[in-house]
Homo-oligomer: A and B are copies of this chain.
Amino acid sequence: MTVEKRILDPKFELADSDTIAAYQLKTLLEILQKTWSTNEFYRAKWQEAGADLSKIKSLADFSERIPTVEKKDFVEDALANPPFGKRLAHGLSLKERSDIYTTSGTSGQGVEVHAQTATELRAMERLYGFLFHWAGLEPGDQTFLTLPITMLGGGRIEYQGAIGFGLNVYPVGNYDANRKLELLNRFRPKALYGSTSYFSHLAAVADRSPPCPSIKVLLTGLEGAGYSYFSRLENQWQAKVADRFGCTQLRTDFMFTCEHGIGVAGRPGMLHSLDPFVLLEVIDPQSGKPVKDGEFGEIVVTSLYHFDNPVVRCRIRDGGVFRKASYCACGRPFGGVEIGTIGRTDDVKKVKGVNIYPQAVDDLMYSFGEVDEYQILLTTSKTNADIAAIKVMPKAGLPAAGYDDFVARLKKDIHKKTGIHFDVELVADLPRSEYKARRWLDQRDR
């Protein structure tokens, strides 16, 4: 199969890795200097860690000498200097628009506050250009944004990225699924843009297949999903998946699939990090050292375009399997993460003494055409052992005669993949997610 190459910015996409690295280092040093002189929050962290900026001559120096920051640091700063913290003081002192985002969660103490200026937003729009261009979209194309626009980053940032690129965005996030389907079939857009599992939900609610034939592109994201789930979405909608990854701490998406999309079952596609704009590190959460190609690690991000609201070595507690640029056939000089491997680093479950990655289970589950939705339930036996069970809602129309065979195959394959035995129960109904799916229930005694 030949794949049409979609290059948006030849200067970066056709460069070699050394050129990109040199550009990163130069930009990084400017960011560090400016941050030192304008941002009390970061300066204090760096002073505390004894970091000396004048000693940083390489990207490796940077990773070794500059400490990471994370959610708890942001929350502490905001509580000590409400409501924005010292971290956001400089950006907000400029007389230009800033967009303010909060993270979700119940009100008050645990909520992070992030911001970016209008200048930073304009720079961010360049990043989204890669997503849309690689996905085969053009300015003027009609796109349904299924996320509501609120104080959360997710939704508002997507909206800004899309209008910055010039898409016709229909903000339908406030409408229920049936109303969305009605509007879809009235206005017949080319792309759907929202969170991965919501598209599956929409397809389940629709009374025809594909739910809207005009849809050619599914802009998935906001949550991890296994390869099989993406593949199933493509079948449900008869459209190509273009996946994205980002985080509120960076206030953008910054890793995208290229024109190779989700790839094929044995060799999934790759989320390409936009290296000229974001310095990506994938580290072993224990040692802090970079992981090797093909290994799972935690994602640490440094923005190379936020000069007034800097993001420097932020641990985001999401991880994935690191891949060098050479992994993808597209030839771009950007590293990244294999699709279908993204998950919270604290989501790895120890069951019967074995580490299990939820995405691996998800991938297996959706490789069975019989599975509509599933839920994993972990409990404790009387003898204090772990019990692992899977509740499966089979697809409507699956003949009851095939149940036993399906359950037997599922049990066998999941044991092969994880090394442990799961009970399997078929159930008539399971909850559907409207936003991010939560499929693991851990009810074990502790």
Contact = CB atoms under 8 A, between A and B. Distances in A.
A50 interface: no
Given A107-B179, A186-B83, A97 B150 contact: no
Interface stretch (A51-59, A165-173, A302-310, A396-404): A165-173
Interface string A88-102: 000010111111100
Interface in A144-187: 148-151, 156, 159, 163, 166-172, 174-175, 179, 182-183, 186-187
Given A83-B186, A83-B187, A182-B107, A97 B151 contact: no
Contact of A140 (B94, B149, B167, B169): B94
A138 interface: yes
B100 A140 contact: no
Contacts of A179: 107
A107 B96 CA distance: 39
Contacts of A182: 107
Given A107-B182, A118-B166, A186-B83, A140 B96 contact: yes
A163 B149 CA distance: 14
A83 B100 CA distance: 36
B150 A96 contact: no
Contacts of A188: 83
Contact of A139 (B97, B151, B175): B97
A238 to B, nearest CB: 21
B187 A171 contact: no
Among A82, A95, A169, A171, the most chain B Cβ lie within 10 Å of the Cβ of A171
B97 A163 contact: yes
Given A94-B140, A95-B138, A150 B175 contact: yes
Nearest to A138: B95
Contacts of A159: 149
Given A97-B140, A140-B97, A171 B156 contact: yes
Contact of A170 (B95, B100, B139): B100
B139 A187 contact: no
A168 B138 contact: no
A17 to B, nearest CB: 34
Nearest to A111: B186
A139 B95 CA distance: 6
Contacts of A100: 168, 170, 187
A140 B95 contact: yes
Given A179-B107, A182-B107, A99 B168 contact: yes
A97 B186 contact: no
Contacts of A96: 139-140, 166
27 contacts: A82-B186, A83-B186, A83-B187, A83-B188, A92-B140, A92-B168, A95-B139, A96-B139, A97-B140, A97-B166, A97-B167, A100-B168, A100-B187, A107-B179, A107-B182, A118-B166, A148-B148, A148-B149, A148-B174, A149-B149, A149-B159, A150-B171, A150-B172, A150-B175, A151-B170, A151-B183, A156-B171
